[in-house]
Structure 1
């Protein structure tokens, strides 16, 4: 059924998209809300996920399940909201300061490619707990204590989870300059 569903979606079958929405909207919303702790922002992420899912339907490559793909999208969109809010609060531009348009466009494309590469790598982490801990600490930017509270586990346990996630990612991201770019985006 999975292959038939994806084929129907890629053909532009609106019923397949509606079915995906009806089946997975709660999971997508819950992931977004778990990260953002804001109903309106979680609803915005929900809408963006399904808009992008439809818009990019011809090029999607789902290697696991539709649910996993959509919740992964929700996770990254929610984390991008957190990252954006964090940057806005910490590093505002000086009055009159702007980035050159060319540099900004090039950086945006490179950042998008780097984030997609990292997103795919992080989604390969086999343990959901390790993945969540890694995302909270290294993508959202929470300290270990805040992340442990959010996950409902102790600080030493979250350190172990993050460490194991990094051990898993190291061979995937090894010798990649993208990892440096990724940590700069935080």
Structure 2
């Protein structure tokens, strides 16, 4: 993880608003793109984006500086997006059982522990990768960078980025299927794979 992020998290925990601003400007575009691909509505995406960063501030004391804050933002944005989709489907009375069948009905009281479990699972899965694959997954999946951007940063070809990412996703999928909670693992896997279309 970029050491600057670790420093920013420490500053954030010391109530430094500038650290929050830095994290917002670093990650808000990637988080926005990820949410929009899921909910397909610009206004809703903006609302969820603001909620993600509101939670970053509210939960700042519980975030570990030694783990990627980008992963934390990913999990929170994923769960808020899923919550919106489930609510919309219930309100429209269309296919109301689809997400429930995949993820199970998760009580609101369990959301905090679910976030933590998903985040820990994601961190552990990424830790199984080689350093290069880990870097590519982090930049493409968690930071929302394109294949071309990552290729330029790492001085490798676009195809090499795609090959490493594809191999890494197989490893991540296997790890999470073997170690994840069946209530939500299918949705987490779906969202990880879905984000692979950003380039």
Q: Structure 1-normalised TM-score?
A: 0.58
Structure 2 residue aligned with 1:8, among 7, 11, 15? 11
Contact 2:36 2:45 in 1 (8 A): yes
Tell me, what secondary structure is at the counterpart of 1:61?
coil
CA distance in 2, matches of 1:79, 1:170: 19
Question: Which residues of structure 2 form unaligned runs of 5+?
Answer: 98-105, 127-132, 142-167, 188-199
Query: Number of matched residues?
Result: 142
Aligned twin of 1:46: 49
Aligned twin of 2:100: none
- Describe how 1:49-128 pairs up with structure 2 within 5 A: 49-88=52-91, 89=93, 90-91=95-96, 107-114=107-114, 116-122=116-122, 124-126=124-126
Contact 2:67 2:123 in 1 (8 A): no
Q: 1:15 to 1:35 in 2, by over 3 A?
A: same
Deviation at 1:71, TM superposition (A): 3.2
Q: 1:112 to 1:67 in 2, by over 3 A?
A: closer
Aligned twin of 2:174: 167
Larger-gyration structure (1/2): 1
Q: Structure 2-normalised TM-score?
A: 0.55
Q: 1:115 to 1:74 in 2, by over 3 A?
A: closer
Contact 1:29 1:46 in 2 (8 A): yes
CA distance in 1, matches of 2:184, 2:75: 17
Instruction: Report 1 or 2 for greater relative contact order, CA contacts < 8 Å, sequence distance ≥ 6.
Output: 2
Question: Which residues of structure 1 form unaligned runs of 5+?
Answer: 93-105, 133-160, 174-178
- RMSD, matched Cα: 3.8
Structure 1 residue aligned with 2:29, among 18, 26, 29? 26
Deviation at 1:115, TM superposition (A): 5.0
CA distance in 1, matches of 2:118, 2:12: 26
CA distance in 2, matches of 1:43, 1:116: 24
